[in-house]
Amino acid sequence: MRGDSGRAARSTGSQCSPGSAGTMRTLFYSYIFTALPWLLILIIMIDVDTRRAIQRRTHLRAVPGSGAGAERRTALPVIYAVTPTYARDVQKAELTRLCNTFRQVPAFHWIVVEDARARTDLVARFLARAGLRHTHLHAATLLRYKRPRSPRGTEQRNAALHWLRANRSRNDSGVVFFADDDNTYSLELFEEMRWTRHVSVWPVGLVGGRRYERPLVENGMVVGWYTGWGAGRLFPIDMAGFAVNLQVVLANPKALFKRHGSKPGMQESDFLRQITRVRDLEPKANNCTRVLVWHTRTEKVKLTNEPDPLLDSVTIEV
């Protein structure tokens, strides 16, 4: 008859008769003992939440150069990564690898430029599910330039430069980086390049027939180059070894990658000499002593067992 006695206690309690004081105390304590654990859990949860919020704030503040206050904390310069790409067996695999890196970079805008007469469905579908801010462009390389010794990606990088000049203004803060799809990028690289004032440079791994190439730095200034070949170039540097402030791209509207008179390996040097001088280069990655990007290249796939005609009953996008 527990239920009955409980009801009785409550009804007597509401009448405040002195005889029910003991029952009231018991009830009070039972409420406290039930509520206390929940109260503790609540306090712990609030504490953890505030600590996380503080961590988040200090993490953002730790970004170099962003100490100027709240408005700059929310307005990180946007990294515009320009990736020329063309249809081949490993295309989607390469783009997937890049995308998985880029998706983790805050304030990032991916400009993917296809070497094609029109944007392909494969790349359009891929970008729609990529989960990052992007612009999908296309620019076809003329047939006469599609030779083995001819530089790749020229028209595509220029298409991206045209897009930036048409769609971005003096009010936009950002940095432009040429991110080919056959490299591997450390996340640290993007925070190094983000605060580029003019043109910044850093080492590149597995390039030029060497384990790495790098600008040589003395007293915080570039004074020479450690490079595998073409040391006669004014800027003997790989496409993955530099970034340009968006305002420099806008302020030099004629600066483009050149096709005429530009041999493979001269593209970077030709472009950079249009916008900067060696002594103005900003060395990143610990005065150019750390490798944060690698020219990995994917091995050409051998599809010697591919049946012709296709034997599968469905068409699969690879």
Ligand X SMILES: *[C@@H]1O[C@H](CO)[C@@H](O)[C@H](O)[C@H]1NC(C)=O
> Which residues of the chain form contacts with ligand X (CB under 6 A)?
163, 166-167, 169, 171, 219-220, 286-287
C-beta separation of 159 from 114 below 8 A:
no
Question: What is d(CA 127, CA 120) in angstroms, rounded to the nearest whole number?
Answer: 11
User: C-beta of 204: minimal distance to ligand X in Å?
Assistant: 18
DSSP conformation class of 220 = T
Closest CA to 240 of 283, 266, 273, 203: 203
User: Could you tell me the smallest distance in angstroms from the CB atom of residue 202 to ligand X?
Assistant: 11
> Does 213 qualify as catalytic in the annotation?
no
Q: How far is the CB of 264 from ligand X (least distance, A)?
A: 29
CA contacts within 13 A on the Cβ side of 74: 2
Residue closer to ligand X (CB basis): 241 or 283: 283
β-strands 293-294, 184-185: how paired?
Answer: antiparallel
Instruction: Identify each DSSP E strand in the chain by its residue range.
Output: 78-85, 108-114, 134-138, 174-178, 184-185, 199-201, 204-207, 210-218, 221-226, 242-245, 282-283, 293-294
d(CA 285, CA 203): 8
The DSSP code for 278 is G
The smaller minimum CB distance to ligand X, of residues 97 and 134, is found at 134
**Residues contacting 290, CB < 8 A, separation 6+:** 202, 203
Smaller CB separation from ligand X, 49 or 218: 218
Assign 211 to helix, strand or coil.
strand
Residue 185 and residue 179 in contact, taking contact as beta carbons nearer than 8 Å: yes
User: Which residues have CB under 8 Å from 280's CB, separation 6+?
Assistant: 198, 199
Report, in Å, the least distance between residue 174 CB and ligand X: 14
- Decide whether 163 or 226 has the Cβ nearer to ligand X: 163
Residue nearer to ligand X on the CB measure, 274 or 286: 286
Catalytic residue among 155, 191, 268, 282: 268
Q: What is the nearest approach in angstroms of ligand X to the Cβ of residue 35?
A: 54
The distance of closest approach from Cβ of residue 167 to ligand X in the complex, given in angstroms and rounded to an integer, is 4
Q: Compare residues 206 and 246 and give the one whose CB is closer to ligand X.
A: 246
CA angle 278, 166, 180 (to 5 degrees): 55
Whether the CB-CB separation of 222 and 201 falls below 8 Å is answered with: yes
Q: Which residues are catalytic?
A: 268
